[in-house]
Amino acid sequence: MIAFIGRRLLHTIVVLVIVSFIAFSVLHLLPGDPALTMLGIEATPEQIEALREELGLNKPLVIQYVHWFVNMLQGDLGRSIFYRESVAQIIAARLPATFFLGMLALIFSVLLSIPAGVISAVRRGGFLDSLTSLIANVGVAVPVFWLGILGIYLFGLHLGWLPVYGYTSPFDDFWLSIKKAVMPVLCLSVLPLAVWTRQTRSSMLEVIREDYIRTARSKGLKERTVITRHALKNAIIPVITLLGLQVRNLVGGSVLVETVFNIPGMGRLLVNSVLGKDFPVVQGCILVIALVVALANLVVDISYGYFNPRTRNE
Amino acid sequence: MKMTTATVRHIEHMELPPRISEFRRFLRVFLSRKVVIFGSIIILALLLIAIFAPLIAPHNPTQQNLWETLQESSGKHLFGTDHLGRDVLSRIIYGSRISLAVGIVSVGIAGCFGMFLGLLAGYFGGIVDTVIMRCIDALLAIPPLVLALAIGAALGGGLGSVMISLGIALLPTYARLIRGQVLSVKQTDYIMAARVVGCSDLRIIMMHVFPNCLPPIIVLVTLNLGFAILAEAGLSFLGLGIAPPAAAWGAMVNDGYKYLLTNPILSFAPGLCIFLVVLAFNLVGDGLRDALDPRLRGTI
């Protein structure tokens, strides 16, 4: 088991090093002088030279990368061109909002999608099954930013039930924080909900056909026990492996949702930095996002190996 | 054994099911579900609208008219006009061209490069496989929209940059899918036989391995067209992508967002189009999967 964890850890580290290379090259893919692009045409030659010096653009690429990489390992992601602050601090200030909404969305979609998937598999072809599959189809196809706007129109402007934008920390004002979080969390949950419901349904349908389910039924267990204790326990494994993908979807969704609802999180920081060509911040965001996704995948892999020893020696 | 006249007659009179071709079997399964037909009709309509946009559109999509800004739905302007007095219906009609073009080109880029990398990795194995797949894993650790944002920003906006960045963002799925298929096809006897009779690697890949990977690719391409259109809409909603005077659905949703209180249709109509088109590609993709190979259910 320890060798297995070691291998997965090494794999994660290799992936993150490659990600750092991708993030690094984003700046250097820029056609022309990165310093000029970032500062705009009004910049004086002195300002451009100062930025070139700060970013180390005068040195060879390999040296620049090594320098940047070593700094990154020490938690130094450079300085923002726009905010004139350390990138690590800017991201740390934006992370809580994204994390809070993302966690709520994750919990909400697990709590709803697994029962929905189980019910539609057990009642295959019934009304609830058709309804679930309709919702799952809609969930994969709907543009979340549009869904958010529809929600703002209906629940915010028309009915006046919910605040239409912004974010409040749950530690400042819990009730207001929840009220503001309802719509963003629902929008974020749509895609994970659809993906997980589909996966739970198809994996339940497969397990229900197995011999041990027939055995459980024929020894006289109650149907509820057969489904929850015997079927779901086995069907849930492929559902859990999707966690990494779901975290990826949530982060991707937060870019759009935070823009619609004007939430000061990492998603909106990334968009604003991309629009403002603040590349140190863009690089920092990519690294942090990839780190979160890679860690989620690592946790999934290790728990998978723990519960299913056959997969340890791939 | 000598066959008697009696057995021959017996065989002739046996009730055989009518023979149907593979294609007819495919059509029968494909068209058996109403939602798949619904999706196909929407895709067909999208194609026709995109091709014949200049003939269908009632107005010029970029013609500003400052005397008629933010008008409500009327006989002259079915979906009203935007803040610059441009006809929203015409802009939606022309917007279909951008959605479709970005979808097709970016999926094309992702498919070609992704499949090439997947074939290389799966067929040659070893160090080639390790290097390619670790890079693919790294790309997979970044959400496609975030990756497309970053690459798009680096390339500097515009239609071409959106196509390339989405193409790179979608590439990993193809590489993984093809690699898996190649690995399973490689074990089969007919590949062994091809090697024994002296086929070159290139010939084995092109003539034997690749055709066997086609059904899942067709399904993935269809599903991905929907995803690419959704992602392009997201990018243009965020203000990255197609330059302003041209009409992109995502950007139209964002433009209309400011006038939500007075003219909600400005946002609602283009958003509904994105939703319907993406839904259609997904429904057809699912239908194709069930018709081409039901075993793929749950894997794509």
How many CA atoms, within 13 angstroms, populate the side-chain half-sphere of residue B165? 31
- Segments of chain A scoring below 50 in pLDDT: none
Is residue A106, in this structure, part of any structural domain at all? Answer: yes
Please indicate, yes or no, whether the overall pTM of this predicted structure exceeds 0.95: no
- AA letter at A97: A
pLDDT tens digits, residue range B256-298? 888 887 888 888 989 999 999 999 999 998 888 888 765 655 5
* Contact in structure between B175 and B115 (CB atoms under 8 Å): yes
Q: Please state, in angstroms and rounded to a whole number, the distance separating the CA atoms of residues A76 and B169.
A: 27
- Whether B109 is covered by a domain: the verdict is yes
**How far is the alpha carbon of B281 from chain A, nearest alpha carbon, in Å?**
9
Q: Are B259 and B70 in contact (CB under 8 A)?
A: yes
Q: Do B234 and A286 make contact, defined as CB atoms within 8 angstroms?
A: no
Provide the residue range defining the domain that includes B219. Answer: 22-58+80-296
**Structure-token match 């979807």, residue found:** A249
Residue A207 vs residues A128, A130, A226, A300: alpha-carbon distances, Å? 20, 20, 11, 21
Q: Please give the average per-residue pLDDT across B11-19, as a whole number.
A: 59
Contact list in A for residue B140 (CB cut-off 8 A) is 248
Question: Searching chain A, which residue's CA lies closest to the CA of residue B259?
Answer: A153
Chain B closest-CA separation from residue A252 CA (Å): 5
Burial of residue A149, with CB atoms counted within 10 A of its CB: 0-12 exposed, 13-18 middle, 19 or more buried: buried
Q: Does A259 touch chain B (CB under 8 A)?
A: yes
A163 and A305 together in one domain? yes
CATH number at residue B276: 1.10.3720.10
Cβ–Cβ gap B135/A18 under 8 Å: yes
**Pairwise CA distance, residues B57 & B77, whole Å:** 11
Task: Tell me what percent of the residues of chain B surpass a pLDDT of 90.
Answer: 24
Q: What is the mean pLDDT of chain B?
A: 82
Residue B207 lies in a domain: yes
Residue B14 domain flag: no
Question: Is A86 inside a domain boundary?
Answer: no
The answer, for B230 touching chain A at a CB cutoff of 8 Å, is: yes
Please determine, for residue B1, whether its predicted confidence score (pLDDT) is greater than 60. Answer: no
Residue at B32 is within a domain: yes
A314 domain residue, yes or no? no
Half-sphere exposure of B275 (CA within 13 A, CB side): 17
Tokens of A145: 């930013």
Contact B275 A16 (CB under 8 A): no
The HSE-up count of residue B164 (CA atoms within 13 Å, CB side) is: 13
What is the per-residue pLDDT across B174-188, written as a single tens digit (0 to 9) for each?
998 888 888 877 778
pLDDT, residue B14, reads 57
The alpha-carbon gap from A308 to the nearest alpha carbon of chain B, in Å, equals 20
Residues 104-143 of A with CB under 8 A from B: 137-138, 140-143
B1–chain A Cβ distance below 8 A for any pair:
no
In terms of domains, do A297 and A192 share one?
yes
Nearest partner of B238 among B124, B160, B161, B149, judged by Cα: B149
At position A50, the amino acid (one-letter code) is: A
In a domain? residue A90: no
- Asked whether the beta carbons of residue A153 and residue B283 sit closer than 8 angstroms, the reply is no
Given A73, A105, A120, which residue is the final one in a domain? Answer: A73
Which of B145, B153, B283 lies at the smallest CB-CB distance from A277?
A: B153
Q: Which of residues 75-104 of A touch B (CB under 8 A)?
A: none
Which residues, numbered 211 to 250 in chain A, qualify as contacts with chain B under a Cβ-Cβ cut-off of 8 Å? 248-249
d(C-alpha A209, C-alpha A198), whole Å: 17
- Taking the Cβ of residue A170 and every Cβ of chain B, the question of whether any pair is shorter than 8 Å is answered with no
Q: pLDDT digits over B185-234, tens only?
A: 777 888 888 888 888 877 887 787 778 778 888 888 998 999 999 999 99
Q: Report yes or no on A79 lying in a domain.
A: no
Within a domain: residue B11?
no
Contact across the interface for A294 and B141, Cβ inside 8 Å:
yes
Q: How many CB atoms lie within 10 A of CB B104?
A: 15
Residue given tokens 């909900």 in the structure block: A193
CATH number for the domain that contains residue A142: 1.10.3720.10
- In percent, the amount of chain B with pLDDT more than 70 equals 89
pLDDT value of position B298 = 52
| A87 belongs to a structural domain | no
B contacts of A22 (beta carbons < 8 Å): 138-139, 142
| Domain coverage including residue A33 | 2-73
Per-residue confidence (pLDDT) for residue B18, from 0 to 100: 64
Q: Do A137 and B155 touch (CB under 8 A)?
A: no
Confidence tier at B159 by pLDDT (50, 70, 90): confident
| Contact residues on chain A for B168, CB-CB shorter than 8 A | none
The verdict on A243 and A298 lying in the same domain is: yes
Provide the pLDDT for residue A224. Answer: 82
Could you tell me how many CB contacts below 8 A there are between chain A and chain B? 149
Helices (H) and strands (E) in chain A, counts: 14, 0
Residue the block writes with tokens 């749509």: A190
CA distance A123 to chain B (A): 19
Number of domains in chain B: 1
A1: Cβ contacts below 8 Å, ≥ 6 apart: A305, A306, A312
A146 and A294 share one domain: yes
Domain membership flag for residue A270: yes
Helical ranges in A56-126 per DSSP H: 61-73, 87-122
Q: How many CA atoms does the CB half-sphere of B169 hold within 13 Å?
A: 30
Domain count within chain A: 2
In which element (H, E) is residue A303 found? helix A279-307
Asked if residues B178 and B114 have their Cβ atoms less than 8 Å apart, the reply is yes
Which residues of B, range 27-66, sit inside 8 Å of A by Cβ? Answer: 35
Residues A23, A107 within the same domain: no
User: Residue length, chain A?
Assistant: 314
Find the farthest-apart pair of alpha carbons in chain A and give their distance in angstroms, rounded: 84
Q: Provide, as residue numbers in chain A, all residues whose Cβ is less than 8 Å from the Cβ of B237.
A: 143, 145, 256, 259
The pLDDT tens digits for A164-218 are 777 888 888 888 888 888 899 999 999 999 989 988 888 888 888 888 888 888 8
Tell me if A83 is assigned to some domain.
Answer: no
B140 touches chain A (CB under 8 A): yes
